[in-house]
């Protein structure tokens, strides 16, 4: 578990976040989620992520503010960032940070494979942060009946 | 159902290559990749590519070497080249060599659709590609 690429899902829509988590936790990935801007910034302060999946429709310009925070908190990060967007809404997506865009409604199997394959080739940082166990790992333990999730 | 044709992805970033390879394979395309211009030229010389996705930001001006190699091919045997670009930098690209550009961040759906359209045209007009499909 510890060596699996770590992935962060930033999504404030509960059902979508739960769906993405359910899909990605069954990939060989360690998966965390953040439902708010502040939770997302807290996550990137404490963990190195190979890949970040962020919904551009976060409330109150949350995605834009996240990118500002990301630049400040992790200026040297090599995280591969994929933006999820509603194609009906035209939003600026910073090409310096975001590598790819996927449109809603999400093509789930393609997204799962893209996240898995891209995260797998991102080199881990030389001095990784001491992250707490990933949400997916805690959930796995809970499912096996050995631990209650926080 | 596959589109039964080949394309080459040339990019020096592992994750971008993985992204494009995954998306395009899922659409049923036959995809090869190259991580630098030298590898790309070698694969191009093997022939049979209808479309090339070429990173224009590779270090050591590798994209220029690759485009020169394309120029040496007879017009009918040249693959359609889509240049992958980033940032506001613009530069002159010979329209005889480059069919179009796609800017980062890559909309993977749009990119796959563009490739699909080009492969349909390549299938009708690219003699080299047709020969390879028959063999």
pLDDT at B129 over 70: no
Q: What percent of chain B has pLDDT over 90?
A: 50
Average pLDDT score over chain A:
93
Mean pLDDT of B14-29: 96
The predicted pLDDT at position B92 comes to 80
pLDDT at B59 over 70: no
Cβ-contact B12, B41 below 8 angstroms: no
For residue range A50-82, what is the model confidence (pLDDT) as tens digits? 999 999 999 988 999 999 999 999 999 999 999
pTM of the model as a whole: 0.87
The pLDDT confidence band at residue B43, using thresholds 50, 70 and 90, is very high
- DSSP of B34-58, one letter per residue? ESSHHHHHHHHHH---SEEEEETT-
The pLDDT confidence band at residue A13, using thresholds 50, 70 and 90, is very high
- For chain A, what's the residue count? 150
Q: Does the beta-carbon distance from A98 to B105 stay under 8 Å? A: yes
pLDDT at B57 over 70: yes
Q: Does the beta-carbon distance from B22 to A113 stay under 8 Å? A: yes
For residue range A29-46, what is the model confidence (pLDDT) as tens digits? 999 999 999 999 999 999
Min Cα separation B60/chain A (Å): 20
Task: For residue B58, give both structure tokens.
Answer: 């590779």
Instruction: Please check whether residue A56 touches B, CB under 8 A.
Output: no
The predicted pLDDT at position B90 comes to 65
Task: Return the number of other C-beta atoms located less than 10 Å from residue B58's C-beta.
Answer: 21
- For residue A24, what is the enclosing H or E element? helix A14-24
Q: Which of A91-105, B16-30, B62-76 has the lowest mean pLDDT?
A: B62-76
Cβ contacts (< 8 Å) between A110 and chain B: which residues?
22-23, 26, 108
Highest mean pLDDT among A49-53, A93-97, B55-59, B128-132: A49-53
Cβ-contact B52, B44 below 8 angstroms: yes
For residue range A100-124, what is the model confidence (pLDDT) as tens digits? 999 999 999 999 999 999 999 999 8
Cα distances from A88 to residues A56, A94, A104, A105, in angstroms, run 12, 18, 9, 11
Q: Does the beta-carbon distance from B23 to A110 stay under 8 Å? A: yes
CA distance A87 to A102: 9
Residue/partner pairs of B129-132 with CB below 8 Å, 24 or more apart: B129/B5, B129/B6, B129/B48, B129/B49, B129/B50, B129/B79, B132/B6, B132/B47, B132/B48
CA distance B50 to A1: 41
Min Cα separation B23/chain A (Å): 7
CA distance B68 to A70: 39
Best interface-test mutation with A: which of B20, B105, B107 has the largest number of A CBs within 10 A?
B105
Query: Nearest residue on chain A to B14, judged by CA atoms?
Result: A121
Instruction: Please check whether residue A90 touches B, CB under 8 A.
Output: no
Residue B80: CB partners within 8 Å, gap ≥ 6?
Answer: B50, B51, B52, B99, B118, B121, B122
């Amino acid at each position: 578990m510890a060596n699996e690429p770590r992935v962060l899902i930033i999504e404030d829509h509960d059902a979508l976040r739960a769906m993405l988590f359910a899909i990605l936790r069954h990939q060989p990935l360690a998966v965390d989620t953040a439902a708010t801007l502040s939770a997302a910034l807290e996550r990137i302060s404490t963990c190195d992520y190979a890949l970040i999946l962020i919904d551009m429709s976060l409330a109150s310009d949350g995605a834009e503010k996240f990118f500002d925070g990301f630049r400040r908190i992790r200026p040297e990060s090599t995280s591969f960032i994929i933006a999820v967007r509603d194609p009906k809404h035209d939003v600026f997506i910073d090409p310096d940070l975001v590598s790819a865009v996927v449109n809603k409604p999400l093509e789930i199997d393609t997204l799962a494979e893209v996240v898995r394959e891209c995260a797998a080739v991102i080199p881990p940082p030389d001095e990784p942060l001491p992250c707490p166990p990933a949400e997916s790992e805690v959930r796995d333990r809970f499912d096996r009946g050995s631990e209650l999730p926080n | 159902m596959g589109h039964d044709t080949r394309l080459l992805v040339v990019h020096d970033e592992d994750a971008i290559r993985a992204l494009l390879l995954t998306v395009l394979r899922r659409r049923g395309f036959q995809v090869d990749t190259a991580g630098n211009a030298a590898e790309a030229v070698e694969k191009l010389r093997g022939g049979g590519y209808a479309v090339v996705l070429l990173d224009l930001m590779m270090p050591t001006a590798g994209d220029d070497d690759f485009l020169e190699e394309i120029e040496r091919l007879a017009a009918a045997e040249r693959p359609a080249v889509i240049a992958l670009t980033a940032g506001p930098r613009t530069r002159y690209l010979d329209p005889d060599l480059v069919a179009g550009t796609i800017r980062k961040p890559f909309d993977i759906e749009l990119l796959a659709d563009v490739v699909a359209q080009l492969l349909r045209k390549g299938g009708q007009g690219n003699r080299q590609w047709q020969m390879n499909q028959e063999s």
